[in-house]
Structure 1
């Protein structure tokens, strides 16, 4: 998939639901409404994915700044979120498949332990359904679902 096709599938306003999973708590699942605006920037060479959600009635927001190099098929991203991050940007790198699924991975510090991974997957089905899924990736062991946000185009 090239950048123009990707933009056609993603650009616009989206609304839906956000699931935050905190596996160490009971109950572990927290649900909220969520909105996303995806816009082209820097002469249409990049996308910004701005989203809102809430946790325990406190509003939060996040941003994914996404770049895609058509010839090398490399996706790069910078991610920030008002709840998940402590003022640092997470740098991510990954791929996009033929169907347009974006899959990037970054790392965050967890002193005194080794760094943990964080994987973000963005999927659009025929430009009408959008899913943003995030996984926490411990240094040893299987990745765990952290966020699943399901959207449809806003009317």
Structure 2
């Protein structure tokens, strides 16, 4: 009997790649609000768990920004019909009461996903937010995020380097 596309993906595809991230991680998070001006460098911890039989992972993290605690959750998956990585993201600092939805493509060592956010206080234009995952090895990963202001080039906003514990 032929395997389903999902079973194939779990065995040697995108779902296997994200499921390999399951575990506990510890590292550092750097934050920038202005290009090339580091605003904060804090410790960060993450627990990545498999949900719905490997269809998705839940990336739950804690850190701080300027001494104030923050936490977040990202549900990450791979959409087989559209061949895109996808996530939903919430956190206690960047997103406020919003939920970001984003999609993107595989990269050589992970993925690059683009979402957007906005606030009517800043006008009608949405800001872009690109998140990259780079799998350095089975025991080291880097999450990077880039803010894209309307009409401007993207700038690095966050870089979190984790090592498996």
> Scaled by the length of structure 1, what TM-score is found?
0.89
From 9, 12, 16, the equivalent of 2:27 is 16
Aligned residue pairs, count: 151
Q: Which has the larger radius of gyration?
A: 2
CA distance in 2 between counterparts of 1:12 and 1:74 reads: 23
Shift of residue 27 of structure 1? 6.0
What do you get for the CA RMSD once the two structures are aligned? 1.8
User: Gaps (5+ residues) in structure 1?
Assistant: none
* CA 73–20 in structure 1, closer or farther in 2 if over 3 Å, else same: same
Is the contact made by 2:30 and 2:38 (CA closer than 8 Å) also made in structure 1? no
User: Gaps (5+ residues) in structure 2?
Assistant: 1-12
* CA 75–27 in structure 1, closer or farther in 2 if over 3 Å, else same: closer
The 3-state SS of whatever aligns with 1:120 is: strand
The equivalent of 2:6 in structure 1 is none
> Scaled by the length of structure 2, what TM-score is found?
0.84
CA distance in 2 between counterparts of 1:72 and 1:114 reads: 27
The 3-state SS of whatever aligns with 1:3 is: helix
From 110, 127, 152, the equivalent of 1:141 is 152
Equivalent positions of 1:11-90 (< 5 A) are 11-23=22-34, 28-70=38-80, 72-90=82-100
* CA 114–71 in structure 1, closer or farther in 2 if over 3 Å, else same: closer
Task: Give the helix-richer structure, 1 or 2.
Answer: 2
Is the contact made by 1:51 and 1:61 (CA closer than 8 Å) also made in structure 2? yes
Between 1:12-21 and 1:102-111, the stretch displaced more is: 102-111
Shift of residue 29 of structure 1? 2.3
Moved over 3 A (4+): none
Shift of residue 16 of structure 1? 0.5
